[in-house]
Amino acid sequence: MILIALMVLGAGLATAFALKSFNDNLMYFFSTTDVVEGKAPKHALFRLGGMIIKGSVERPGDGLMVRFKLTDFSKDVTVEYTGILPDLFREGQGIVAHGRLNQQGVFIAEEVLAKHDENYMPPEVKASLKQQAVSVEDKK
């Protein structure tokens, strides 16, 4: 009986560690409206998706830092990224960025993803935009 109890305890601990590890590495997706409304976590990594607003891309200084605004056509969020952007990164393109919010509410991206097909829109962004279109029509 002691051996069976130890095996059950060991299996339970292994399951608990696996679930905790999975939960720690889980990265949720939020739209720009969710971020502006405060639904996104303040100090945790998450994915932010939307369309890059035309005319919003800035490259201050000589470095690799770029600043731009994302929108879901309802609310906008400023994003800052330091690094090499995907080749097809451009205004009007749908992207998904991984990162976190800073104290000023600016999303500091660690990674920016854009698909190489010009007709592509990340599924999360498409669903978010579709939901915003329904919300806007409901308000009319």
Whole-number pLDDT of residue 19 = 92
Q: What is the mean pLDDT of the chain?
A: 85
Domains of the chain: 27-139 (2.40.50.140)
- The band of 94, judged by pLDDT with boundaries at 50, 70 and 90, is confident
54-88 per-position pLDDT tens digit: 999 999 888 899 999 999 888 999 999 999 998 88
Whole-number pLDDT of residue 60 = 86
Structure tokens at 9: 């305890």
What is the reported pTM?
0.71
Q: CA 92 to CA 109: how far, in whole Å? A: 18
Q: CA 98 to CA 88: how far, in whole Å? A: 17
Q: Which helix (H) or strand (E) holds 47?
A: strand 46-52
Whole-number pLDDT of residue 44 = 85
